[in-house]
Structure 1
Amino acid sequence: MYSPKELGLKVKKAREHRAKRSGQDFSQKMLAFKIGETSKWVQKLEKGQFYPEWDALNLIADTCGVDIEFLTEEKFESEVEYEEAVKGGYVTRRIEQEELYL
């Protein structure tokens, strides 16, 4: 697992990948809306200020049409493995299971 800054760049590339594939702009604000976060949250993520929690990272991957491995450059079998990899890094709030289906 690499630094939050490198992860942020990968999230930006994933967002740009979606825009290129669809032929339409896909802004930070649009990504934020799709994953239930604020545009400021996405902006901070892309600047590499924190590691997102596992569920948020999966939502970003799904929304942008990339594999989670594209974002992490590692194959994590579980949330626990991801949390161990980013231990010591700053993780934002936890997304409750119910929020994933709103």
Structure 2
Amino acid sequence: MYSPKELGLKVKRAREHRAKRSGQNFTQKMLAFKIGETSKWVEKLEKGQFYPDWDALNLIADTCGVSIEFITGEKFEEEVDYEEAVRGGQIARRISQQELFL
């Protein structure tokens, strides 16, 4: 799981990805409107000041046309997995059995 700063940068890149794909500017204000938040909320998120909740993250990914994996750096099977990672209850990635013996 990325730090809040890294996550914020990924959200910004996702927003830029949408702009590039559409050929039109896609501002923080536009993203905020699409996901039902304020532009200040998006600004703080992109600055890495907090982790958003799972639903907001999904809306951002859908709106920008990227995967949750792109934004978080991990594949979360369920919302609870993300919530645990945000609280620090989960390691950044799982080590496979093969990697243990290398």
When normalised by structure 2's length, the TM-score is 0.85
Using the TM superposition, give the Cα deviation of residue 2 of structure 1 relative to its aligned residue in structure 2, in angstroms. 1.4
Q: Which residue does 2:83 correspond to in 1?
A: 83
Count of residue pairs brought into register by the alignment: 88
Q: Distance in 1 between matches of 2:47 and 2:73?
A: 18
Map 1:1-102 → 2, pairs under 5 A: 1-87=1-87
Unaligned runs of 5+ in 1: 89-102
Over the matched positions of the two proteins, sequence identity in percent amounts to: 88
Higher Rg: 2
Tell me how far apart the structure 2 counterparts of residues 67 and 2 of structure 1 sit (CA, whole Å): 15
Per the normalisation by structure 1, the TM-score is: 0.85
Amino acid at match of 1:77: E
What per-residue deviation string (whole Å, max 9, x for no partner) do you get for residues 5-38 of structure 1? 0000000000000000000000000000000000
Cα shift readout 1:12-66 (whole Å, capped 9, x = no counterpart): 0000000000000000000000000000000000000000000000000000000
**Gaps in structure 2 of 5+ consecutive residues:** 89-102
Taking the aligned partners of 1:15 and 1:40, their CA distance within structure 2 comes to 15
Report the 3-state secondary structure (helix = DSSP H, G, I; strand = E; otherwise coil) of the residue aligned with 1:86. helix
Partner Cα separation in structure 1 for residue 22 and residue 57 of structure 2: 21
Quote the Cα distance in structure 1 between the aligned partners of 2:12 and 2:31.
Answer: 10
Please list every run of at least 4 consecutive aligned residues from structure 1 whose deviation after the TM superposition is greater than 4 angstroms: none
Amino acid at match of 1:16: E
